[in-house]
């Protein structure tokens, strides 16, 4: 019998800077009701889905920055979302800025949680690949200060056995890195939930601007196929505070095919009944990792952060890899 999970990918249009949490929560709840009417079991909301994408501004006062963060989840302003989802019997995942006291200090993460149909948080992920810069760069039309306001996530790429399958999460820029999917693929992930806020314009490389939707689809489809997993990519999009952001919300099968996609740049729900067993044939053939991977040749992936010279790579491989022919032996 097929293991099917009906997913609602709940794309959001822009959230204004002065839009309050209760106003945003009302929009999320409207999408939950649509999802229920369309037979969904799990609704996926985007990255930083409770506020505007605040890293676009340089703000000196940390108190002003912290106003964009949640200190508890659910908190007084988000409890209605949890209560409504539980009343409807819907699970959901959502991204938000998390402020937490941990290891004796205040820490800030770009976080996503997975909530079961009873309203319990059953999974948490903190964004690992933080793009952008940490200093004010006034030459840009807008900032991308994730590296200033947020810390690198410290929970790893975990998977969660929930909703009858094995689910994982990642956030926005993570989707561009093959390691993200592979670390979860090695744990047998069957569906990756991911939200994003991607400006159309990339100030350091404006020549990429016309390719934003292409790159979005390319990386998510590749991640899905190469790891035999569903990928649910959900945008916050449209013109947010004068900054256009790509849409492109889509549900991708383990074949790498996009099977449902958004048509607008606003609040929009797309749904698909996902057979979680669709990845099996890939996992047992072309991507049977245990049979076909050759990790002794992949040492460089964890041995170095940035590129190194080929000679140094050869030396590292000889030191770290097993059974490699020394450089002189060719």
Which one of 36, 40, 41, 127 is the catalytic residue? Answer: 127
- List all residues 6 or more positions away from 296 whose beta carbon is below 8 Å from its beta carbon: 321, 322, 323, 324
Size of the site for ligand CDT (CB under 6 A): 9
Answer for which of 196, 272, 282, 287 binds ligand CDT (CB under 6 A) is 196
Kindly give the interhelix angle for 21-37 and 79-88, rounded to the nearest 10 degrees: 10
Q: Which residue has the tokens 């249009």?
A: 13
- Considering the rule CB under 6 A, would residue 202 count as an interface residue with ligand CDT? yes
Residue number, 201 or 315, with CB nearest to ligand CDT: 201
**Shortest CB 103 distance to ligand CDT, Å:** 25
Is there a catalytic annotation at residue 127? yes
Catalytic-labelled residue, pool 40, 170, 172, 274: 172
Catalytic residue among 36, 40, 41, 47: 47
C-alpha span between 237 and 244 (Å, rounded) = 7
CA distance 188 to 253: 15
Q: Per CB under 6 A, which of residues 44..73 are in contact with ligand CDT?
A: 47
For residue 209, the Cα-to-chain-centroid distance in whole angstroms is 21
Residue 133 binding ligand CDT, by CB under 6 A: no
Q: Which positions ≥6 away from 307 have C-beta within 8 Å?
A: none
Nearer to ligand CDT, 150 or 278 (CB): 150
**Toward ligand CDT, which CB reaches closer, 172 or 224?**
172
> Which member of 173, 180, 221, 258 binds ligand CDT (CB under 6 A)?
173
Rg (CA), the chain: 20
- Which region, judged by CB under 6 A, interacts with ligand CDT, from 33-41, 116-124, 172-180, 275-283? 172-180
Burial profile 196-208: b = 16 or more Cβ within 10 angstroms, e = fewer = bbbbbebbeeeee
Q: In what order do the strands lie in the sheet with 230-235?
A: 159-162, 165-171, 191-196, 230-235, 250-252, 258-261
65: left (phi over 0), alpha (psi -120 to 50) or beta: alpha
* Residue 198 engages ligand CDT in binding (rule: CB under 6 A): yes
- Taking CB under 6 A as the binding criterion, the range among 97-105, 183-191, 192-200, 257-265 that sits at the site for ligand CDT is 192-200
- Residue 141 CA: distances (Å) to CA of 132, 158, 199: 13, 36, 11
229 touching ligand CDT, by CB under 6 A: no
Binding mask 86-125 for ligand CDT (x = CB under 6 A): ----------------------------------------
Q: Is 240 a catalytic residue?
A: no
Of 58 and 289, CB closest to ligand CDT: 58
List, in sequence order, every residue forming a beta bridge with 193; answer none if it has no partner.
Answer: 169, 232
Does 172 participate in catalysis according to the annotation? yes
Q: How far is the CB of 80 from ligand CDT (least distance, A)?
A: 26
Query: Catalytic residue numbers?
Result: 47, 127, 172
Site residues for ligand CDT per CB under 6 A: 47, 131, 172-173, 176, 196-198, 202
């Amino acid at each position: 019998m097929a293991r099917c999970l009906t997913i609602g990918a709940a794309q959001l249009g822009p959230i204004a800077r002065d839009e309050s949490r209760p106003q945003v929560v009302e929009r999320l709840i409207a999408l939950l009701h649509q999802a229920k009417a369309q037979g969904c079991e799990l609704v996926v909301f985007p990255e930083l889905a409770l506020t505007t994408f605040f890293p676009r501004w340089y703000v000196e006062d940390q108190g002003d920055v912290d106003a964009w963060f949640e200190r508890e989840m659910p908190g007084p302003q988000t409890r209605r979302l949890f209560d409504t989802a539980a009343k409807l019997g819907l699970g959901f995942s959502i991204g938000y800025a998390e402020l937490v006291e941990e290891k004796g200090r205040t820490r800030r993460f770009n976080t996503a949680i997975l909530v079961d149909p009873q309203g319990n948080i059953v999974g948490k992920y903190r964004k690992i690949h933080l793009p952008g810069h940490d200093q004010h760069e006034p030459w840009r039309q807008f900032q991308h200060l994730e590296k200033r306001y947020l810390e690198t996530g410290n929970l790893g790429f975990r998977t969660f056995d929930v909703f009858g399958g094995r689910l994982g999460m990642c956030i926005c820029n993570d989707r561009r890195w093959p390691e993200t999917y592979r670390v979860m693929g090695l744990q047998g992930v069957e569906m990756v939930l991911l939200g994003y806020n991607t400006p159309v314009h990339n100030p350091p490389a404006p020549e990429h601007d016309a390719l934003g939707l292409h790159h979005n689809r390319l990386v998510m489809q590749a991640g899905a196929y190469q790891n035999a997993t569903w990928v649910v990519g959900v945008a916050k999009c449209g013109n947010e505070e004068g900054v256009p952001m790509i849409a492109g919300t889509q549900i991708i099968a383990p074949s790498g095919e996009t099977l449902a996609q958004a048509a607008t740049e606003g609040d929009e729900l797309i749904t698909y009944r996902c057979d979680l067993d669709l990845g099996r044939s890939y996992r047992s053939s072309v991507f049977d990792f245990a049979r076909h991977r050759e990790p002794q040749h992949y040492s460089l992936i964890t041995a170095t952060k940035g590129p190194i010279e080929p000679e140094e790579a050869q030396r590292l491989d000889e030191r770290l890899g097993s059974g490699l022919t020394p450089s002189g032996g060719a």
